Structure 1
Amino acid sequence: MIDEILKNQRQSQAHLDSLNQVRFMLKNGTISSEELAIMALDHMGVKGELVEQVRSRAKLQRDKFLAEMMGTINSAVGACNESGRA
């Protein structure tokens, strides 16, 4: 019985340590939502196709964001160039 209590306590501490590590990474911006999702899936024992779906969806979102940002930057540069010519 004591062994089981100690085992549960160690498991709980390991989960808290993992949670604190994730909180630290989120606070400092050192983890992406993709990495966080994959960590959660890995912790649940999920592998394979679902992990690949997370990765491919994250790549699509990154590509979309970069395309929008480049369009915004190009528009701003074009506006600056036009105002300089006037």
Structure 2
Amino acid sequence: MLKKVLSKDEARDALRKALKAVLEEEIPPLSDNIVLFEKFQLDSMSMLETLIELEEMLGFSVDPEELDVKDFETVGGYTDFLVMTVAAA
């Protein structure tokens, strides 16, 4: 079985689409240094909704109990998390 490979650019694009779906607003292009909680006024619930969107979009599943909030602070951290998680799925 082939492992799915997700590039950083694909992960960034998927994150942008998930944020658009959850926040119901246009999301500008993302750069790795954007702090998600500040830029988009996210809270833990909207961040979880974003993760659920991404799970459905990219075909992976994670246990919320095993998540580290540090992985989701910046666009770069979140996309790194997505690349590694999809590769391990």
- Please classify the TM superposition score into its range, dividing by the shorter chain length: under 0.3
Greater helix fraction, Structure 1 or Structure 2: 1
Highest relative contact order (Cα 8 Å, sep 6+), 1 or 2? 2
Larger radius of gyration: 1
